[in-house]
Structure 1
Amino acid sequence: MSHYDYIIIGAGAAGLLLADALGKEEFFASKSILVLDKDNKTKNDRTWCFWERGNGPFDDLIHKTWDNIYVGGHQLQKSTSIAPYTYKMLRGIDFYNHFLPKVKAYPNITWVQEEVTGIQEQENQVLVTTSSQNFIGQTVFSSLYDPTLPLKQKDFPVLQQHFVGWQIKTEQSVFNAREATFMDFSVPQKGNTRFMYVLPISDTEALVEYTLFLEHLLEKSEYEKAIKTYIKEKYNNTNYTIQETEFGSIPMTCYPFHRHNTNRLFNIGIAGGWAKPSTGYTFYNTSQYVPKLVAYLKTGKPLSEFHQKSRFLFYDTLLLDILYESNHLGHEIFESMFKRRKASLILKFLENETNLWEELKIVTAPKPMPFIRALFKRLF
């Protein structure tokens, strides 16, 4: 049975960024590190997007950027600049092709492609079981998400941001490659919060995603029907071929996942609650969390005490309370925000960078009563 100082379970964004951060730090050069993942990471299985001011650490890997976005719906059709931000698209395959060879090259890191079937914390170590062998870790970082955890309580509502995306190529030039469709609520809402998300790579190529903020998933055919209808109506029934498909479901909840962390077993990524609760954006948050986690590891303090607190969690809680009770209000809230406030200010708020005055401007943009009711219910 092999023993390691650190075991990282899952080689997604959180796992690979953490492995790379540990591998390149001289401080951890004497630590033995194991990275486990069931996949060989050779497929373009996901797309991450985020907004950022100026240059960033992932710019060499970015597939496409946009300086303008479109937000549409029943009361709004708005094309706008997001300066000083740039919206950036990072393909999973480009991320893997860059970080996986780096991680494998570190002399103190071992890569094993196997599926983890069990994690058992013991008195002084953690036993990690795969389909064919066992490993012992002094500290384990796990990105294995257990969706039943937040469902066992009632204090924090749990929605899902779920989506199906098609990377399509059209016969005619129908896309505006200079502008990303951030949210298009013109699709039938059906009592929920539903929108289309379009990322044009060129005037004939785009990722078209049907996205919902909802408690339960739909049948696959419902997502596909919505995408087909949207392409037909929005792009003049143009002929197209589907090049790639993707599906995702991200928990939207303010549930305190960090309470499940111990001094030996620490959850990372979505499993650790690193997704932005009100939007589901995870990659940028993860890239900010990892350096802080690594710096904390150097202090030698108890790992269970590492937790990032923020007043923005309260804003997220109120919005999710509203969407959980009255899911149909989603499009009205987001349309009002983008209609009455600058897109750059909204993105700054969603990135947890605004001051109190700016936050007051954001929360007063939509109709106030749903937020007032949610506030009183949350307080009392």
Structure 2
Amino acid sequence: MLGPVYYYVIIGGGMAGLQLALRLKNDVFFKGKKIAIIDPSFSVKKDTTWCFWEKETGQWDKLITKSWKEGNFKSSLGSQHLKLSPYRYKMLTSERFYKYTLAEIKNSKHFDLIEDEISEIDAVKMEAIGKNKTYKGTHFFDSRVPSEYFETENYTKLYQHFKGYKISTEKPIFNPEKFLMMDFRLKYKNSTSFTYILPTSTTEALIEYTFFTPYITEEAIYDKQLKEYIANFLKIDSYTVLQEEEGIIPMTDFPFEKNNTSEITKIGTGGGWVKPSTGYAFKNTERKISKIIENIKSGKEISKDLFQKKFQLYDRIFLDVLARRNDKGEKIFTDFYKKNTVDEIFRYLDEKTSIKEDLKIMFSLFDPEFIKSFFRKF
């Protein structure tokens, strides 16, 4: 059955799809254009915490749970106090994000939220084929991860996989004014693995144990590492687990962008919008969407210049080093945080640095393994 014709069809009502929909809704340029968002379910998801840094105020400030001006980095090779000003590190829960964005979009008569599962897009007929109906549009924003990603072995694939406990303690334990970016002191074998702490009060914090590895591990290992860190490093013997969250984020140099065409723009994880070397996606998504809006308004191809080739190369090299020598992660990250300022680090990760600034970062991380990976990946 053929449904109505839409100006844009957004396939996937996740973080990227809803961020895009909200920007389209709030921009007068797109007023009157009928847009569909198609997803198997629009239930409010409560299982994810997104964090990001930005200067001054931002469009999500009214939704954030907590923000910090200071943080710490720790490893067996040294520690670093992180003064973030003029940046702030911000924490946003998926529950607040989905409640807000879905409510805003549902209030617009120009959007249809459709519960269906798309199996394919016919770029000739300009149709998205679902289980229930077929949907026509002039352009499709598609968040589905292409099957080729799962099938190919021609690219580096690491995974940021983690489990977190949101805990409550009877006694004041945490400093809610400082978060812990990375703590490598509790290791799992020879892997790049660390603990991450987001304190929201003196008695509550989200504590996550995270891996950057070429493999996935068993859930029992996360639990073991979390309990050991809480007992031996935080010295907490009594606490309540209020909530658990876990996830797997791809860190890969797979060229998702090659699937962009004049009819289809890949978005979100399926578009390669997760920063390959860090796993951060929320602000990266915001930047990609801003570029898409700019391209549409200026009459350019929608996916033009969504990626910078030099940063793609940097990420490929970094991923190759970690894939071959996963034991090097602690040393690499320690050098990164101890030998560079917070401003240099955030500008580099935000892909806003010049070649001169890039070289400073690279020299701070120097290791023969990077030379090997450069020649493997260049």
Tell me the TM-score range normalised by the shorter chain.
Answer: over 0.9
Counterparts in 2 of 1:28-177, with a 5 A limit? 28-112=30-114, 114-130=115-131, 132-146=132-146, 148-149=148-149, 151-154=151-154, 156-177=155-176
Q: Quote the residue 1:365 is aligned against.
A: 364
Counterpart CA distance in 2 for 1:344 and 1:41 is 38
Cα 1:190–1:148 shift into 2, 3 Å: farther
Kindly state the Cα deviation for residue 274 of structure 1 after the two structures are TM-superposed: 0.8
In 2, Cα distance between equivalents of 1:87 and 1:348: 14
2:129 partner amino acid: V
Q: CA deviation at 1:300?
A: 4.2
SS of aligned partner of 1:187: coil
> Is the 1:337–1:366 contact (alpha carbons within 8 Å) kept by the matching residues of 2?
yes
Distance, in Å, in 1 between the alignment partners of 2:34 and 2:329 is 47
Do 2:320 and 2:373's aligned partners in 1 also have CA atoms closer than 8 Å? yes
Structure 1, 295-304 or 201-210: larger mean CA deviation: 295-304
The SS at the match of 1:191 is coil
Instruction: Give the Cα–Cα distance (whole angstroms) in 2 for the partners of residues 308 and 378 of structure 1.
Output: 17
For normalisation by structure 2, the TM-score amounts to: 0.93
Matched-pair contact (CA < 8 Å) for 2:142–2:270: yes
Aligned to 1:352: 351
Q: Secondary structure of 1:311's partner?
A: helix
Ranges in structure 2 where 5+ consecutive residues have no aligned partner = none
Tell me whether 1:254 sits opposite 2:256 in the alignment: no
3-state DSSP of counterpart to 1:371: helix
Residue among 11, 21, 27 paired with 1:25: 27
Distance in 2 (CA, whole Å) between partners of 1:336 and 1:24 is 42
Quick one: percent identity of the two aligned structures?
35
SS in structure 2 of the partner of residue 60 of structure 1: coil
Aligned Cα root-mean-square deviation (Å): 1.9
- How big is the shift at 1:342? 2.2
CA distance in 2, matches of 1:147, 1:204: 44
Return closer, same or farther for 1:226/1:294 CA change in 2, 3 Å cut-off: same
Q: Distance in 1 between matches of 2:306 and 2:289?
A: 12
Q: CA deviation at 1:37?
A: 2.3
* Contact kept? 1:170, 1:238, Cα under 8 Å: no
Decide whether the 8 Å contact of 2:13 with 2:42 is kept in 1: no
User: Match of 2:137, as an amino acid?
Assistant: G
Q: Tell me by how many angstroms 1:158 deviates.
A: 1.1
Q: Letter of the 1:270 partner, please give it.
A: T
Q: Deviations over 1:117-167 (max 9, x none)?
A: 41231413122303x44333332212122465165142x311111111111
After superposition, where does 1:195-210 map in structure 2 within 5 Å?
Answer: 195-210=194-209
Q: CA deviation at 1:174?
A: 1.3
* CA pair 331-340 structure 1, distance change in 2 beyond 3 A: same
Unaligned runs of 5+ in 1: none
**Residues 119/300 of structure 1: CA separation in 2 closer, same or farther (3 Å cut):** farther
Q: Distance in 2 between matches of 1:151 and 1:184?
A: 34
Structure 1's consecutive aligned runs of 4 or more residues displaced over 3 angstroms after TM superposition are 298-307
Counterpart code for 1:167: K
**1:286 maps onto 2:285 in alignment:** yes
* Closer, same or farther: CA 370–282 of 1 in aligned 2, 3 Å: same
Hey, what's the Cα distance between the residues in 2 that align with 1:302 and 1:357?
30
Match of 2:240 in 1: 241
The one-letter code matched in structure 2 to 1:126 is: E
Measured in 2, the distance between the counterparts of 1:309 and 1:339 equals 26
**What count of residue pairs does the alignment treat as equivalent?**
376
Q: Deviations over 1:64-113 (max 9, x none)?
A: 0111111111111222212221111111111122211111112111112x
| Contact 2:292–2:302 under 8 Å retained in 1 | no
Q: Give the C-alpha shift of residue 351 in structure 1.
A: 1.5
CA distance in 1, matches of 2:358, 2:151: 30
SS of the residue 2:171 aligns to: coil
